[in-house]
């Protein structure tokens, strides 16, 4: 079966005053349609550069990115703008429009798409119900908690009806309890809408909680990739071992328990 997202030999080099920086070095991996795929690594591993290359906000120095069999790297600027409409993105710092209330923030992409005001507001309210924030429709971002802001950002992304959602450290600014609720919401969205989700994070706990597959990055290189349970239970590279062990033995135990449950479910 053809992968939904395919990255082939991706490289990204920046040129600065102090010289040449290879942020992403010859990375290849595949993501299936409807997967929740984690990209994990410590600060400076190249995660954010890689995710910005996935929708060509950063144009790769070399390599190819295919979405649903179509090479994004070969599209014209006009074709690329159209393709990007199917790729949503949420960030660590929410990026809401502070002068607009919650409802108008969610309506914003619908306005750009030319949807009539009444229809846009109706759809926006439905999305606010999906993220359990309809009671905050008239509030402004400054009046919201971090978790509420991220829920608004998720609703705004969903308004464009994307096939792919890129989450760049989307829970890094949140406390553990709020993080868990946002991850639960992302899982629900994945199941309800079939959206393929790519999660960029430095936290193994986030990968354990939500992802089906994971890629481990270190110093711009792909060190390991595979099913989460396989990477957690038997990491093959030193980079993966460091991330798993540094996150605590409960992570490994949880992964083993989940693996055991799958076997029991199959047997039963």
Q: Cα(48)–Cα(24) distance, rounded to whole angstroms?
A: 10
**What percent of the chain has pLDDT above 90?**
73
Please count the other Cβ atoms lying within 10 Å of the Cβ belonging to residue 11: 16
Q: Which long-range contacts (CB under 8 A, 24 or more apart) does 262-266 make?
A: 262/229
Which pLDDT score is estimated for 257?
40
Tell me the mean pLDDT in the region 140-167: 95
Q: What pLDDT is recorded for position 242?
A: 87
- Mean pLDDT, the chain, rounded, equals 88
Output the pLDDT for position 91. Answer: 86
**Distance of alpha carbon 168 from alpha carbon 66, whole angstroms:** 20
Q: Mind listing the pLDDT tens digit for each residue in 188-218?
A: 999 999 999 999 998 888 999 999 999 999 9
3-state secondary structure of 10: strand
Give the contacts of 80 (CB within 8 A, at least 6 positions apart): 56, 72
Q: Does residue 248 have a pLDDT over 50?
A: no
C-beta separation of 260 from 234 below 8 A: no
Fold of 5-86+162-267: Rossmann fold (3.40.50)
Residue positions counted in the chain = 268
Cα-based distances in Å from 204 to 29, 79, 140, 199, 232: 19, 36, 33, 11, 9
What pLDDT is recorded for position 247?
63
Compute CA distances 61 → 23, 56, 76, 150, whole Å.
Answer: 10, 11, 16, 32
Domain ranges of the chain: 5-86+162-267, 96-161
CB within 8 Å of 108: residues ≥ 6 apart: 97, 100, 156, 159
Q: Assess whether pLDDT exceeds 90 at residue 258.
A: no
pTM, 2 dp:
0.87
pLDDT digits (tens, 9 = 90+) for 159-176: 999 999 999 988 888 898
Share of residues in the chain with pLDDT > 70 (%): 91
pLDDT in tens, 19-43: 898 999 999 999 999 999 999 998 8
**Closest to 238 (Cα-Cα) out of 226, 224, 252:** 224
Question: Is the per-residue pLDDT at 266 higher than 80?
Answer: no
* DSSP string covering 178-201: HHHHHHHHHHHHHHHH--EEEEEE
pLDDT, one tens digit per residue, over 70-120 is 999 999 999 998 899 899 999 888 889 999 999 999 999 999 889 999 999
The pLDDT confidence band at residue 263, using thresholds 50, 70 and 90, is: very low
Q: What is the mean pLDDT of residues 139-147?
A: 95
- For the cut 50, the answer to whether the pLDDT of residue 236 exceeds it is yes
pLDDT band with cut points at 50, 70 and 90 for residue 1: low
Element (DSSP H or E) covering residue 111: helix 102-112
């Amino acid at each position: 079966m053809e992968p939904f997202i395919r990255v082939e030999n991706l490289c990204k080099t920046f040129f600065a005053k102090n010289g040449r920086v290879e942020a992403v070095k010859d990375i290849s991996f595949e993501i299936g349609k409807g997967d929740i795929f984690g990209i994990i690594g410590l600060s400076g591993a190249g995660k954010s550069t890689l995710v910005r290359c996935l929708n060509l906000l950063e144009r790769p120095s070399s390599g190819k990115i295919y979405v649903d069999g179509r090479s994004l790297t070969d599209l014209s600027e006009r074709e690329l703008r159209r393709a990007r409409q199917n790729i949503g993105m949420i960030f660590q710092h929410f990026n809401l429009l502070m002068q607009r209330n919650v409802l108008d923030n969610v309506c914003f992409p619908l306005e750009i798409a030319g949807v009539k005001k009444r229809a846009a507001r109706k759809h926006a309210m439905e999305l606010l119900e999906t993220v359990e924030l309809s009671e905050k429709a008239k509030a402004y971002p400054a009046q919201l908690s971090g978790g509420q802001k991220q829920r608004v950002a998720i609703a705004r992304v969903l308004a464009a009806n994307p096939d792919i959602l890129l989450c760049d450290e989307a829970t890094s600014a949140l406390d553990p309890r709020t993080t868990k609720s946002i991850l639960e919401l992302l899982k629900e969205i994945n199941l309800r809408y079939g959206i393929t989700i790519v999660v960029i994070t430095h936290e193994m706990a986030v990968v354990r909680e939500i992802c089906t597959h994971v890629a481990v990055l270190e110093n711009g290189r792909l060190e390991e990739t595979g099913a989460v349970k396989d990477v957690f239970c038997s990491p093959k590279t030193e980079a993966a071992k460091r991330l798993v062990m540094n996150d605590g033995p409960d992570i490994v135990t949880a992964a083993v328990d989940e693996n055991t449950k799958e076997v029991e479910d199959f047997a039963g």
